[in-house]
Structure formats: structure tokens, C-alpha cells
Amino acid sequence: MPILQVIILALVQGITEFLPISSTAHLALAPWLFGWQDAGLTFDIALHVGTLVAVLMFFYRDWLQIIAHGFGISFGADTQLKQNPKLLWYLAIASIPIGVVGFLVKEQAEEWRNPFLIGGMMIVIGLVIWVVDRADSGRKNMGAITIADSLAIGVAQALAVVPGTSRSGVTIAAALFRNIDRPSAARFSFLLSTPAIAGAAASALHHLIKQGGIPEDMRVPFAVGIAVSGISGCIVIAFFLKYLQRHSLRCFVYYRVIFGIIMIALALFRRPAG
């Protein structure tokens, strides 16, 4: 696998996984446009691991404080997290829907990756984000998130098994619908993604080990993919959280709708690479 292809796909993953624009859609379009073959299971796992590295790098202090508070231990300086000592258990409960749905439809979901569905979901979820973002009624921060909020966001995350939905997009939309402010919506979304990404990566790694491990010719691409997607993902998280302190999600709505229309149009006139 050419290193240039590895770097481009890893950058696509790192940038789009944490913005509400669907990494699946972009990873499907890039090989299609460039005429690349499917990168395969091994590289897909590298991207999952890189994504996990990004959220753990950025939120490790949050996780230490959340876990400590969950077990009644006073730790950490974040005021909002101190106000919500049950957040660990809320995140655990919110992770159940994606675990159940992922287990039930894992095989079928792989067959859903067609440009018409992906493009359609880009548009539909984009319009949903537009509706809830326009309301701009967010009054709750991380300290005020309830178990009902967590369940609603967790159910929304389960929709991310449909390609083109965007895990961050649909969970942020659900959080906004629950009157959570934009920065807290994104922060909770990223924290909630950690168990889901970890579970998916662990399952895929187990499957890879059963098949004999990482092929020798994929070891360098595997390492580069993890590093590039992890570092770029961490940078994007920092940017996005700061961006939401002063801006709406409107530009991402426009991007999703335009991207979805282009993808559907390309599907009508151009066949993807085999």
C-alpha cells in the first residue's frame, strides 16, 4: 500500500471522524475518486486505533476525573465534571444502544455502503443538525447532563451504524435537542465515542489476530496510519471545541448537503473502483 495513500486516508479519517461530516462518507469517496482499491481490514483497523488514540490523548484528564468521581474519589480540577459525579455511569448506559445495534447489524451494515445511501444520509442528517442548531436553546453544560439526556444521545449514536450519518453529527444533534450547549454537546459526544471506538477496535484486532496478525507488508502502513490519524484527530478535536464556543454548525450543514448532492450525482454517472 503506497505511503501517500496511507497518509491521505489517515488524514481523512483524523479530520472527518470528529467533525459532523461523516468519516465513512469521505473514506468511501476518496478511493473512488482516486481509483484506489479497498485498503482492506488491516488498514481499517489502524484507522480505528488511531481514532481511539486521538480521543484518549485529548481527553485522558477528563476520563481520569470521570472514572474517579464514578467511584466516589475526589480527583481533578474540572468544575463541570465535579458537578456531575455520575457521568461515568451515564456514559456507560448511553453506550448500550450502539453496542446492541452494532452486534445485531454488523454484517448487514457493511453491505449498506453505497453512494446513494451515504449521500442521502449526509443530506438528511445535515438538515436535522440545521433544525436543532437554529434553535440555539442550549442552557446545560456537562455538569447538568442527566441520565435522560445520556440515553437520548446514546440512542442517537446507534444510528451511526448507517453510513453517512456521522457519529459526532448525530450525537451532537441529539445533545442540542436536549438543550445542551454546543461545546458541551461536542465534548459529551467525543467522550461517548470512546467506548464505542474502543469496542470496535478491540473486536477488529481480535479478528485480525485470529487471521494471523498484521501482514509483513502492512506493518509500516499500519503504524503510519495510526500515527497520522491519531495526531490529526487530536488537533481537530481541539479546533472544533474552540470553534463551537463562538460559532454555530451552519457551515457543516452546508458542507454535508453539498457533499451529499455531489456524491449522489457522481453515483449516477460514475462507477466506483472495484
What's the pLDDT score for residue 48? 87
Count of domains for the chain? 1
Q: Kindly report, residue by residue over 57-66, the tens digit of the pLDDT.
A: 999 999 999 9
* Predicted local confidence at residue 109, as pLDDT: 67
Residue by residue, DSSP assigns the chain as --HHHHHHHHHHHHHHTTTTT-HHHHHHHHHHHHTPPP--HHHHHHHHHHHHHHHHHHHHHHHHHHHHHHTT------HHHHT-TTHHHHHHHHTHHHHHHHHHHHHHHHTT--HHHHHHHHHHHHHHHHHHHHH----B-GGG--HHHHHHHHHHHHGGGSTTS-HHHHHHHHHHHTTB-HHHHHHHHHHHHHHHHHHHHHHHHHHHHHTTSS-GGGHHHHHHHHHHHHHHHHHHHHHHHHHTTT--SHHHHHHHHHHHHHHHHHHHH-PPP-
**pLDDT tens profile 230-245:** 999 999 999 999 999 9
Residue 274 lies in a domain: no
86: confidence class by pLDDT, cuts 50, 70, 90 = very high
Given a cut of 70, whether residue 110 has pLDDT beyond it is: no
Q: What mean pLDDT is predicted for residues 261-270?
A: 88
* pLDDT tens column, 189-212: 999 999 999 988 888 888 888 888
What is the domain range of residue 104?
Answer: 3-269
* Residue among 6, 19, 33, 5 nearest 115 (CA): 33
Answer yes or no: is 50 within a domain: yes
- Is residue 232, in this structure, part of any structural domain at all? yes
Nearest-5° angle of CA 196, CA 231, CA 76?
65
Amino acid at 143: G
Note whether residue 78 is domain-resident. yes
Q: pLDDT value at position 235? A: 97
According to the model, what pLDDT value does residue 218 have? 86
Confidence at 270, pLDDT banded by 50, 70, 90: low
Q: Is residue 224 part of a domain?
A: yes
- Average pLDDT over every residue of 61-80: 95
Q: What is the pTM of this model?
A: 0.92
Task: Indicate whether 138 pLDDT > 50.
Answer: yes
Determine the average pLDDT of the residues in 158-187.
95
Question: How far is Cα 14 from Cα 8, in angstroms, rounded to an integer?
Answer: 10
Q: What is the mean pLDDT of residues 86-101?
A: 95
Predicted local confidence at residue 201, as pLDDT: 86
Residue 178, domain member (yes or no): yes
Average pLDDT over the chain reads 91
| pLDDT for position 174 | 97
Q: Is the pLDDT of residue 274 over 50?
A: no
pLDDT beyond 90 at 37: no
Instruction: Output 260 or 209, whichever has higher pLDDT.
Output: 260
More confidently predicted of 17 and 43:
17
Mean pLDDT of all residues in 162-178? 95
CA gap 263, 37 in Å, rounded: 18
Contact 57, 230 (CB under 8 A): yes
Is position 106 within any domain?
yes
Q: Is 227 exposed, middle or buried (0-12, 13-18, 19+ CB in 10 A)?
A: middle
Phi, psi of 126 (to 5 degrees): -60, -45
Cell of 193: 465515542
Which range among 104-118, 125-139, 142-156, 246-260 shows the weakest confidence by mean pLDDT? Answer: 104-118
| Count of C-beta atoms within a 10 Å radius of residue 214 | 17
Residues 128, 121: Cα–Cα separation, whole Å: 10
pLDDT band at residue 44 using 50, 70 and 90 as cut-offs: confident
> CA gyration radius for the chain?
18
